[in-house]
Structure 1
């Protein structure tokens, strides 16, 4: 979902003035299967990580609050560097800030954790729907306000962005700051609720067993219905809702992501831990931080410097093919890397930084 924004952080994918059927089809597939679904999973897993580290700290007699704050502060720094110099759409800063808001509540009971999860998810979902509707209204009133491929506003933005790294740094920094400042209006609360939900599900044994059949069936029905509404809107108003759809999809994404998680757990239950299937798809997760930054660097270099002219002509399908190739490359790199090393390079650097920081604090 991020790849077009690696080409141009402010515009992302710019639609053609005449609706391209291929673009509409790929956007439809994105809305149904991808948009917001994996960000939701990442938020859940980030909450799981906090819960695991909290338990491990307590078992070792370590001050969990100072340990987790150190980890998250370093992640925030890495996120800042990433946002300013590589990709302004960084998510690490949001994760670290959201995680810091949770640290003091990690000792709460399961009942209190799930209450917070529900409250923040509801607040975040309502705000997302309002944000989505607000962003769609200007285009509904005046379709000419939408930036389209080849328009004067597109060309002006293209010329200001490409081949000017200083300008890119300034724009990326501004975009990242604006994203953080606006996050309390929509995404922060949803991320907070999802992390709490991840903590609750982990402690409830979900990641070993999945949902009960009755619960899964209810989730599946809500996921299908909420996604169908988004898909109908996307297909009916492709230009008007191009900017607003991610906000709408973030609500259905909650249910779809939980369905995905349940299916993944059941697949893993049926495959031995050392099976090829589990090895192939668990490898990228073990070096996720490194792959995330690697993707930003490679896509930024490719789309902004090596072949910037592609941005003028690339369709959604072209980006989709690029995503598939990038995914295959990352899976292969992760597998090859882990054949020789136990930890990703950035994971190792991160661990060294917060471990050194904690040693200095307690010395």
Structure 2
């Protein structure tokens, strides 16, 4: 299929893993309900299973609306709605519109047979160029280089009743499996004749033991990381502090939080932004997030936009401003106290001279009284 049929703003997706990742991490899908996700996932799986190597759906493999909707377990209306959602976001492009001789132009309402019969719609899996440009290079390289079983292989194996790339083992293997599958773990046998040293809970007294392990240094929660290495250390600290973030790698978390760190956020700021709105209202927790990257982007959207501009003041910035105001007030108070001490140490010279004159006058009057009496 020539790429000239695809708009310039779109690009044919290089791998199915990348296409699935873009759908699951799309911001418009972050706040959807569970039933919407269930139907969308079913439709997406069927599209993945019925594309050729050129990422185009193949009608000869059953990629028709009726068959795809039936295999996905959704109605035609729901199937059409999910296709529309994918097309509007640049994740699917229509190459051939489905038509019948009755409604096809030039067939005069079915009275003229053009020999094409009923044409099934054909779609190509795409992704917007802007999305690829905004992705982290390391994450993009990982998604484009990851190898998985191809949809063609899954379609040829009807015994594997799980959509690609999920793989499970059935509890009871059916009779037509190509190999014998068992869920019973094998037992490792140990020869009793071998000389096996006993294992103790701790070393015996008198043996020279090693010193306790030094705790690993973690990134401070109140310091803003400046480069990629520091951001990676900060993301490791976040994964240690927030258990839900351990579902993604530190490198992936760094790509999601790069704009926040560049805007001056600290580890404590990120934890606060993920739990509290800018107006102080806490987020409500009802269930574990289904797709963690989309959940993180959704929680950070009220704080920072796509360009990396802060929409609200960070908690660390508010604390720093309060500290500066407190230090300024303390300095002003110290200056006032120092001025008061200087005034007490050096009284007014004119007032001091008047007091001394009055004291001399009193002393002179007391000393001259006996002479006058004589």
* TM-score (normalised: structure 1): 0.21
* TM-score (normalised: structure 2): 0.21
Q: Which has the higher strand share?
A: 2
Larger radius of gyration: 2
Q: Which has the higher helix share?
A: 1
- Asked which structure has the greater RCO (Cα within 8 Å, sep 6+), the reply is 1
